[in-house]
Structure formats: C-alpha cells, structure tokens
Structure 1
Amino acid sequence: MRLRPGPLAIFLTVLIGIFMLMPLLAVVPVSFTPKRFLSVPTDTLSLRHYRTLIEDREWIESISLSLRIGVLSAAFATALATFFSLGMWMFRPRFAGLLMGIALLPMVAPPVVSALTLYFFLITLSDLNEIVAYDTLFGVALAHSVMIVPFAVVLVSVSLAQVDRRMDLAARAMGAGLGTRVFRVILPNIKFGVIAAFMLTFVLSWEEIAVTIFITSVDAVTLPRLMWQGLRDNIDPAIAAISVVLILIVITIVLGKTFVQHVLKKRRAASQG
C-alpha cells in the first residue's frame, strides 16, 4: 500500500520551503536598486548593477577565473579520488582504514588550519617556480583540490561498493590486464559516480572562500573573493545582482535535470509497455 502525504503535511512542507527560500528571495529586489549601496528600491527600478556584471572587466575576469579554477581542481580531484578508490577497492591494502582516514582528513580539519597550511605550502612553492605558487591560477586550483578531494573519494567509493567484484575476477581470469580491467570493466560501471564527483567538486571549488582568502592577493581574484571584498569594503549592490544570476542558473539546472529525468522515465515506461 502506498502512503500519500495529507493536506496538512503538504501545507507544512510548502511553508517550510518558503521560510527557507525567503533569504534568497530578498536578494531579488535589492539587485534592482538604482543606488550605489545595498537597499530596497522604493520609486524606480534599475538594471545598472546587472550591466556592471557585463561591462566591468573585474567581474568578468573573476567569473572566468573561478570557472577555470573550478574545472581544473574538479578534474584533478576527481582523477585523484578515482584512482585512490580503485586502488583501495582492487588491492584492499592492510592499512586501508588508515589510508582512508588520511584521504578524508581535509574534510574534518578546521578550514583555518587547512588555509594556513596551504598558505605556507604555496609560499614555499613560490620560491621554486612561478606557475604553481601563491596567488596563481594553478596554485589556487591545487589548494582547492586538496580541500575537495575527500568529497570525491566518498562518492567514488560509494559507487565502487555497488560493483560486483566477480566481474573484475572474471576479467582477470580471462587474461585481461590491469588497464583493461580498470578502463573497460570497472570505470564504465561507476561512470555516474565519477560524473557526480566531478560536478560536486566543481561546485565546492566555485564557492570556496575560506582558503582562497589566505592563498590569493591581487592576481588570482575569484568570484567569491570579489564578492567578499565588495561586502567588506563598500557593499556593492552588484553582489546582489550576481547572486540572482547564480540562483537562476541553479534553478535552471535543477529544472532541466528534472525535465530530462521525466522524459527518460516516460520513454522507459513506453518501451517496457
């Protein structure tokens, strides 16, 4: 028997959802203010702050930099987590629990401690090279990778836990090498977990601010850092505008994902019928 929520449960759910979304919705009218500071418009509405996002080179460069750092750090973290999880799953080393604990350590360490450690690490690298260093694209990407790789390890490990080991054993018994077993047997069965790990780590890198403040100065200004500077220095209403844009992007992605899942479900039901 299938239980359906009653009217009261639906009403309470909608009420809780509205309560949680109210802080986000409050940003929308503020983004249309004609003034130079954060305020709710009273007489007229203005798109000046949305134009700022398009015309101001500083905002464009920060968005572009955040995208590049997000892709680089997510790709590196996902690859690292995938091969680490594969090694743990295939070879089952004696100190597997200890190795997993070390891999997940950045997830539980205080952000300030991680930020200070990465700061001194990148400062040291700055003496050796100018590419992977303090206040550089690759330096920030490396630091973000360290912070987000535990989340990728968790997702990939969960995906591997659903894989039947007998497939790997069968491939090995038939003479398949390690590379063939990994790339043609195991990875195809966890591809959705790897994709989910990449998407999650990209989002985590995109919104990272605690570590970024410590490891950047004037050259590598990401979008979250620029927004933080705007709130600290002059409370720029463009922050409200970019917040609305990001909210719309998230809503579009969620609705698009829901629509695609609905279409695939209908096609699957039609093919089975």
Structure 2
Amino acid sequence: MILQRPGRLAITLAIIVSLFLLLPLLAVVPVSFTPKRFLSLPEGEWSLRHYRALVENPAWGAGLWLSIRIGLISAALATTLATLFSLGMWMLRPRFGGVLMGVALLPMVAPPVVSALTLYFFLITLGQANDLVAYDTLAGVALAHTVMIAPFAVVLISVALAQVDRRIDLAARAMGAGVARRIFQVILPNIRFGLVSAFFLTFVLSWEEIAVTLFITSVDAVTLPRLMWMGLRDNIDPAIAAISVLLIVLVTLVAVSRALHAAWRGRKAG
C-alpha cells in the first residue's frame, strides 16, 4: 500500500481552515489584559488585574474545585454504568437489544430543556427524602451530569467492544473461566483505551455542562461554567476572559503533550 503525502494546496487549505477556527479564540487574549472593569480591548495600557481577581476572589477557586469533583464523580459513574451496560449487551446479545440501546441513548437526543426540567423535578423529589442527593447539592449535580453524559460513554465502549474478537471470550469460557474472570482478565484489557477515552470525554462533557446545571443549582453548588455564565449575565466581568485564556492554555498544553507522546511512541515502535 502506497501512502501519498498531502500536497501544498491541501496543507495550505488546512492551515487556512485552522486559522479561521482558532482566531476567534485568540481574540479573547487581549481582552483579558484590559485595565477596565468591562469587556474591552486594552488601549495602550495592559493590566493583570483580572488574573489577580481569579486568585483573590475565592468564588473562582471554589467553582473550579467543585467542577473538578463533579466531573470526576460523574465521569467515574458514567463510565462504570456504560461499561456494565455495554458488556451485558455484548455478552448476552438480548433479543430486544436495539430497543435497550435506544433507551440508553435517549438523553443524548432529548432536548436539553426537557432533560433539565425532568432532572429538576427528580432532584426536588429526592430532596424530600434526603439531604445528600438533592437539588443544589454536589451529589445531585453529579447524578444529573451522569445521566446526561452516560450515553456518550456507551457509544465509545460499545464501539471498542465491537472490535474485540468474540473467539477470545469463547476460548476463555471453554477453558473454565468464570464470568468475572472473563470480564476482568480477557475483555476489559482489550478495551482499556476505549474505557480511558470514555472517562476523559465524559469528564470534559461534565466540566462544560451548563444547560442542565442552570436548572438544578442555585447558590450552594456553583460550578465554574455557571459562575462564568453569571458573570456574563450580570456585569460582563473581564475575569471571564482571563479564565477563558487559562483554559485555552491548559487544553493546548494537553493536546501538545499528547501529540508529542504519540510521536515519541511512534519513533520508539519504529
């Protein structure tokens, strides 16, 4: 098989498209250095006052820490539930598997407002019986996020399982391996990259979730996206531009690190 390198025209078009997509993101960088109290481009004088506000205002740190905790809990729950569901579908192949898959993916296609209202009334009802998993609590938000992001984990893990040769599982079963041993020693090791991808994707989806969060939180569980939304709605705080720049830098570092790691593995394998 002969692999053809992209020509100059293709590379030029790729660069133009990339710049077209990235330039709007870069426009927020100078705004974050404005010395004024509202969103504006700096005129001669640049200031770090809004970056200092991120450190001095405890609300930003609290919102960041809460978003991290909710993201980790939601991603862990969503990945676990999706793994159990996908394994059951793959191993048992039930007669109405298509219907079950449709039900599992329903939160993915339902309008966000409908899901938000449903989860709002659900958490209000739960709050009448307990104070832990309820409206405007960490556990309540994590549960709601789990419901919203689990379908994405189901898709990723199901795709990973579809690439596993069933004869491996049949061979383990023929040699007397029980269900638990087949799952943990045969199947899961073969889909570990799918599991990691599902966890990472669901964490990112939980991190950026705002539509449902607005309905199920008030004053106690203020996540970072909700805090940013409140700043845009109330007074358009330029600190939002500063936190946006920091998030862009973080994502860029992660992407570059992964690219360098992949290149290093490629050279090592070659």
Whichever residue aligns with residue 161 of structure 1, its letter is: A
Question: Secondary structure at 2:180's aligned position in 1?
Answer: helix
Deviation at 1:98, TM superposition (A): 0.3
- The aligned counterpart of 1:214 is 215
- The aligned counterpart of 2:24 is 23
- The aligned counterpart of 1:252 is 253
- The aligned counterpart of 1:141 is 142
Whichever residue aligns with residue 28 of structure 2, its letter is: V
- The aligned counterpart of 1:154 is 155
Give the structure-2-normalised TM-score.
0.98
C-alpha separation in 1, matches of 2:93 and 2:14: 44
- The aligned counterpart of 2:201 is 200
C-alpha separation in 1, matches of 2:218 and 2:178: 48
Whichever residue aligns with residue 191 of structure 1, its letter is: R
Deviation at 1:165, TM superposition (A): 0.6
List structure 1 segments (4+ residues) > 6 angstroms apart after TM superposition: none
Structure 2: runs of 5 or more not aligned = none
Question: Secondary structure at 2:266's aligned position in 1?
Answer: helix
C-alpha separation in 1, matches of 2:229 and 2:13: 35
Deviations 1:210-262 (A, max 9, x none): 00000000000000000000000000000000000000000000000011111
Deviation at 1:4, TM superposition (A): 2.5
C-alpha separation in 2, matches of 1:73 and 1:251: 24
Deviation at 1:50, TM superposition (A): 0.8
- The aligned counterpart of 2:102 is 101
Whichever residue aligns with residue 46 of structure 2, its letter is: L
Deviation at 1:69, TM superposition (A): 0.2
C-alpha separation in 2, matches of 1:54 and 1:176: 55
Structure 1: runs of 5 or more not aligned = none
Deviations 1:148-185 (A, max 9, x none): 00000000000000111111111111111111011111
Deviation at 1:96, TM superposition (A): 0.3
| Matched positions, count | 269
CA-based RMSD of the aligned residues comes to 0.7
Deviations 1:14-44 (A, max 9, x none): 1111111111000000000011110000121
**Aligned ranges 1:156-195 → 2 under 5 Å:** 156-195=157-196
Deviation at 1:9, TM superposition (A): 2.1
C-alpha separation in 1, matches of 2:6 and 2:263: 21
Question: Secondary structure at 2:247's aligned position in 1?
Answer: helix
